[in-house]
Structure 1
Amino acid sequence: MRIETLIADNIAHRPDKTAVVAGDMRLTYRELDRQSSRLAAALQKHGIRPGDRIVFLLDNGSEAVVCFFSAWKAGGVACPLHPTIKSEKLAEIFRSIEPAAIIAQGRLLPIVDAACAVYGQPTTVIGVQTGAADSNAPSFEDLIAAEADFAPPAGLSENDLALLIHTSGSTGRPKGVMLSHANIAAACTSITGYLENTEKDVVLSVLPLSHGYGITQMVTMAMVGGTLVLEKSFAFPRVVLARLQSEDVTGFPLVPAMAALFAGMPDLSAETLPHLRYMTNAAAGMPPTTTQRLQTCLPQTALYLMYGQTECLRTTYLPPQEMPRRPLSVGHAIPGTSVSIVDDNGLPVAPGETGELVVEGPHVTRGYWRDDVATAAALRPGPNGMRLHTGDLFRADEEGFLYFVSRRDDIIKTRGEKVSPQEVERVLYALPGVLEAAVEGVDDAVFGQVIKAHVAVDPDAGLTERLILRHCAAHLEDFMIPKLVEFHDALPKTATGKIRLNAETAAEAKKNEESRIA
Structure 2
Amino acid sequence: MRQVRSLAGYLTAQGVERGDRCVIFMDNTLVCAVSVYAVLSIGAVFVVVNPQTKQNKLAYILDDCGASALISDSHLHRVFTPLLKTAGRLKCVIASGDPSRLEATEVTPFEQALEGGVTELPPNGIQKDLAALIYTSGSTGDPKGVMHTHLSMTFALGSLIEYLRLSSEDRILLVLPLAFDYGLYQLLMSVQLGATLVMERSFTYPAVIFQRIREEKVTVFPGVPTIFSLLLSMYQREPFVFPSVTRVTNTAAALPAEHIPLLKKIFPNALIYKMYGLTECKRVCYLEPELIDVKPASVGKAIP
TM-score between the two structures when normalised by the length of structure 1:
0.56
Task: Describe the superposition over 1:484-508 as per-residue Cα deviations: whole angstroms up to 9, x where unpaired.
Answer: xxxxxxxxxxxxxxxxxxxxxxxxx
Residue in structure 2 matched with residue 124 of structure 1 by the alignment: 92
Alignment match, 2:19: 51
> Would you say the 8 A contact 2:3–2:118 is kept in 1?
no
Is the CA contact 1:77–1:162 (under 8 Å) kept in the aligned structure 2? Answer: yes
Select the residue among 273, 279, 302 that pairs with 1:304. Answer: 273
Q: Determine the C-alpha separation between the residues in 1 that align with 2:258 and 2:136.
A: 29
Distance in 1 (CA, whole Å) between partners of 2:293 and 2:32 is: 38
Which residue identity lines up with residue 134 of structure 2 in the other structure? I
Partner-residue secondary structure (3-state), 1:242: helix
Secondary structure (helix, strand or coil) at the match of 1:321 reads helix
Query: Could you say which residue in structure 2 is the equivalent of 1:408?
Result: none
Which residue of structure 2 aligns with residue 170 of structure 1?
A: 139
Is residue 142 from structure 1 mapped to residue 112 from structure 2 by the alignment?
yes
Q: What do residues 92-128 of structure 1 show as CA deviations (whole Å, max 9, x unaligned)?
A: 2222211110001102123212223333444411011
* 8 A Cα contact 1:187 1:312, kept in partner: no
Answering whether residue 246 of structure 2 is matched by residue 273 of structure 1, we say: no
Letter of the 1:160 partner, please give it.
D
Q: Kindly indicate whether residue 12 of structure 2 is the aligned counterpart of residue 73 of structure 1.
A: no
User: In structure 2, the residue corresponding to 1:280 is in which secondary structure?
Assistant: strand
- Corresponding position of 1:476: none
Q: Tell me the secondary structure at the aligned position of residue 35 of structure 1.
A: helix
Q: Aligned residue for 1:203?
A: 172
1:59-107 superposed Cα distances (whole Å, 9 cap, x missing partner): 0110111000000011110011111112222222222211110001102
- Decide whether the 8 Å contact of 2:2 with 2:118 is kept in 1: no
More strand by share: 1
* Cα 1:287/1:217, change in 2 over 3 Å: same
After TM superposition, what 4+ stretches of structure 1 lie above 4 angstroms from structure 2? none
Amino acid at match of 1:141: E
Q: Output aligned runs, 1:181-220, within 5 Å.
A: 181-220=150-189
1:39 aligns with 2:7: yes
Query: Aligned residue for 1:154?
Result: 123
1:260 aligns with 2:229: yes
Question: Partner of 1:265: helix, strand, or coil?
Answer: helix
Matched-pair contact (CA < 8 Å) for 2:28–2:201 = yes
SS at match of 1:168: coil
Kindly tell me the number of residue pairs found equivalent between the two proteins: 300
Q: 1:304 to 1:164 in 2, by over 3 A?
A: same
- Deviation of 1:235 after TM superposition, in Å, equals 1.3
Q: Which has the larger radius of gyration?
A: 1
Residue equivalent to 1:247? 216
Counterpart mapping for 1:308-323 below 5 A:
308-323=277-292
Instruction: Name which of 58, 71, 77 aligns with 1:109.
Output: 77
Q: Output the CA distance in 1 between the equivalents of 2:32 and 2:155.
A: 22
For the structure 1 residues 273 and 297, does the alpha-carbon distance in structure 2 shift closer, same or farther, using more than 3 Å as the test?
closer
Contact 1:183 1:312 in 2 (8 A): no
Structure 2 unaligned blocks of 5 or more: none
CA distance in 1, matches of 2:45, 2:102: 29
Aligned CA distance change for structure 1 residues 310 and 223 (closer, same or farther; 3 Å): farther
Q: How large is the Cα RMSD of the aligned pairs? A: 1.6
What residue identity is the alignment partner of 2:218? V
* Letter in structure 2 aligned against 1:148: G
CA distance 1:131–1:155, shift in 2 (3 Å): closer
Cα deviations by residue, 1:157-198 (Å, 9 ceiling, x for unpaired): 121111001111322221110001111111111000011111
Q: Is the counterpart of residue 331 in structure 1 residue 300 in structure 2? A: yes
1:293 aligns with 2:262: yes
Contact 1:304-1:318 within 8 A present in 2 as well: yes
1:179 aligned partner: 148
Note if contact 2:135-2:280 (Cα within 8 Å) is conserved in structure 1.
no
TM-score (norm. length: structure 2): 0.94
Q: Does 1:92 align with 2:60?
A: yes
Q: Which has the higher contact order (CA 8 A, sep 6+)?
A: 2
Q: Which has the higher helix share?
A: 2
SS at match of 2:67: coil
Q: Distance in 2 between matches of 1:243 and 1:281?
A: 20
Identity of aligned residues (%): 35
**Is the CA contact (8 Å cut-off) linking 1:91 and 1:116 kept in structure 2?**
no
Inter-CA distance 277–83: structure 2 relative to 1 (3 Å threshold): same
SS in structure 2 at match of 1:174: coil
Separation in 1 of the partners of 2:24 and 2:214?
30
Tell me the secondary structure at the aligned position of residue 185 of structure 2. helix
| Separation in 1, partners of 2:140, 2:262 | 35
